[in-house]
């Protein structure tokens, strides 16, 4: 049974001190349909819905629209018909977003969702979604695997992480290889909340099943060395890709393999994808750090985007915030892509600097881009599963 949320009767808004950000007066809301509302500092909104005993739900309260400068910190509380608190969450989603997955309703009744703002000095808008939980009870969360692989190129093992999403056991998955920036490591994307963003996206049916691979670049990724078989490029294409595909349940195919990166990681993602379009179908650069002089023309993304377009073609995304210090050469790459007739998406967000808060705010955008062609994939079984 799906949840039907009605404005009059089963679903009512009891707003304290703030107005909803959309007119709900004649709206019928069904499971999975979002509501957008405002919260001032140190305020709470109450929402009511009818549910049945044993029904399992996903409830998400996320800052909306994504804005790296907002200080809103939503807290979720769920109360039964007698006013007893039955569930609560603060930061179960990516960043400061709140999320409950697998909430089982104890009885057929009217329940209250209370959305609080923990940040007393700052308000903002949030999006509330209630939906049926699509995950079976035995697989409510994914798994972040930490491991390492031998590396002849580097001369010592390469550390990496792989996130396998909920309920993915036994099936090979498409994946995104995500590279970190120069002042971070393989923990960066994990710390931004990439695993929580994937879990929420799948729970709310925004995303298909997808894995991510997060390698540690180390000193080699920060070195301007581009010799054949000796650079970070070859750690990725000759060692990491074959190793993680052989040791994890990942599809080994160009069309289901994407690469992207933040800052210096964006530099490497562009370099590798443009030089090896036979390996990747999808490329993303998130505040990619480009430089006119840090690599020869055969390896510099600012030159590669002027060369003959990659064949087969890449589906390309690039973004930056309004106040990104690297914007000059990001914009130059965009202009050169246009001049060369290379199709790409270029997002210039109205807020944001070259920092974690900016990238975290746009995780959902990145994941939707990477996975937009993977919703109807037939996922093959893992050997031995």
pLDDT tens per residue across span 209-262? 999 999 999 999 999 999 999 999 999 999 999 999 999 999 999 999 999 999
pLDDT digit string, tens, across residues 320-339: 999 999 999 999 999 999 99
pLDDT of residue 9: 29
Pairing of strands 257-262, 282-286: parallel
pLDDT of residue 31: 60
What class does CATH assign to 143-371? alpha beta
- Using DSSP, state whether 161 is helix, strand or coil: strand
Which candidate, 297, 159, 151, 157, places its Cα nearest to that of 238?
Answer: 151
Which candidate, 263, 260, 211, places its Cα nearest to that of 236?
Answer: 260
Burial class (CB in 10 A: 0-12, 13-18, 19+), 189: buried
CATH 3.40.50.1820 intervals, the chain? 143-371
Give the integer Cα–Cα distance in Å for 199 and 196.
5
Q: What angle do CA 144, 213, 58 make, to 5 degrees?
A: 50
- Using DSSP, state whether 52 is helix, strand or coil: coil
- Using DSSP, state whether 178 is helix, strand or coil: strand
* Tens place of pLDDT per residue across the chain (385 aa): 333 343 322 333 333 333 333 333 223 334 678 999 999 988 899 998 889 999 999 999 999 999 999 999 999 999 999 999 999 999 999 999 999 999 999 999 999 999 999 998 989 999 999 999 999 999 989 999 999 999 999 999 999 999 999 999 899 999 999 999 999 999 999 999 999 999 999 999 999 999 999 999 999 999 999 999 999 999 999 999 999 999 999 999 999 999 999 999 999 999 999 999 999 999 999 999 999 999 999 999 999 999 999 999 999 999 999 999 999 999 999 999 999 999 999 999 999 999 999 999 999 999 999 999 999 999 999 975 5
pLDDT of residue 14: 37
CATH 2.60.120.380 intervals, the chain? 4-132
pLDDT of residue 42: 83
User: Which residues, other chains included, contact 214 with Cβ-Cβ below 8 Å and sequence gap of 6+?
Assistant: 160, 161, 162, 163, 178, 180, 186, 188, 189, 190, 194
Structurally, at CATH architecture level, domain 4-132 sits in Sandwich (2.60)
pLDDT of residue 11: 37
Burial class (CB in 10 A: 0-12, 13-18, 19+), 259: buried
pLDDT of residue 83: 96
pLDDT of residue 147: 97
Give the integer Cα–Cα distance in Å for 336 and 275.
17
């Amino acid at each position: 049974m799906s949840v039907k949320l009605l404005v009059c009767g089963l679903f009512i808004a009891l707003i304290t001190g703030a107005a909803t950000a959309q007119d709900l007066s004649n709206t019928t809301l069904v499971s999975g349909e979002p509501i957008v509302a405002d919260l001032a500092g140190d305020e709470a909104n109450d929402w009511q819905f009818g549910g049945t005993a044993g029904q399992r739900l996903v409830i998400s309260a996320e800052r909306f629209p994504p804005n790296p400068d907002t200080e809103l910190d939503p807290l979720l509380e769920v109360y039964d018909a007698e006013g007893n608190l039955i569930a609560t969450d603060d930061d179960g989603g990516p960043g400061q977003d709140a999320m409950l997955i697998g909430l089982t309703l104890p009885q057929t009744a009217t329940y209250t969702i209370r959305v609080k703002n923990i940040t007393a000095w700052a308000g903002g808008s949030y999006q509330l979604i209630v939906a049926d939980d699509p995950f079976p009870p035995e697989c409510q969360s994914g798994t972040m695997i930490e491991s390492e692989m031998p590396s002849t190129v580097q001369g010592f093992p390469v550390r990496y992480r792989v996130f396998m999403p909920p309920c993915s056991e036994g099936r090979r998955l498409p994946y995104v290889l995500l590279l970190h920036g120069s002042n971070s490591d393989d923990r960066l994307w994990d710390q931004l909340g990439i695993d929580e963003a994937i879990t929420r996206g799948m729970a709310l049916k925004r995303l298909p099943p997808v894995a991510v691979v997060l390698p540690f670049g180390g000193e080699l990724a920060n070195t301007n060395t581009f010799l054949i078989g000796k650079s970070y490029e070859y750690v990725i294409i000759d060692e990491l890709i074959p190793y993680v595909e052989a040791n994890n349940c990942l599809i080994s195919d160009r069309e289901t393999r994407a690469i992207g990166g933040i800052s210096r990681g964006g530099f490497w993602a562009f370099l590798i994808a443009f030089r090896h379009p036979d390996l990747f179908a999808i490329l993303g650069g998130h505040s990619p750090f480009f430089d006119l002089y840090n690599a020869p023309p055969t390896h510099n993304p600012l030159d590669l985007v002027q060369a003959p377009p990659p064949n087969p073609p890449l589906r390309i995304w690039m973004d930056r915030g309004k106040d990104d210090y690297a914007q000059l050469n990001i914009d130059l790459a965009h202009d050169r892509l246009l001049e060369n007739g290379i199709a790409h998406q270029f997002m210039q967000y109205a807020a944001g600097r070259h920092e974690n808060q900016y990238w975290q705010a746009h995780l959902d955008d990145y994941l939707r881009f990477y996975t937009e062609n993977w919703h109807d994939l037939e996922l093959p079984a893992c050997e031995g599963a």
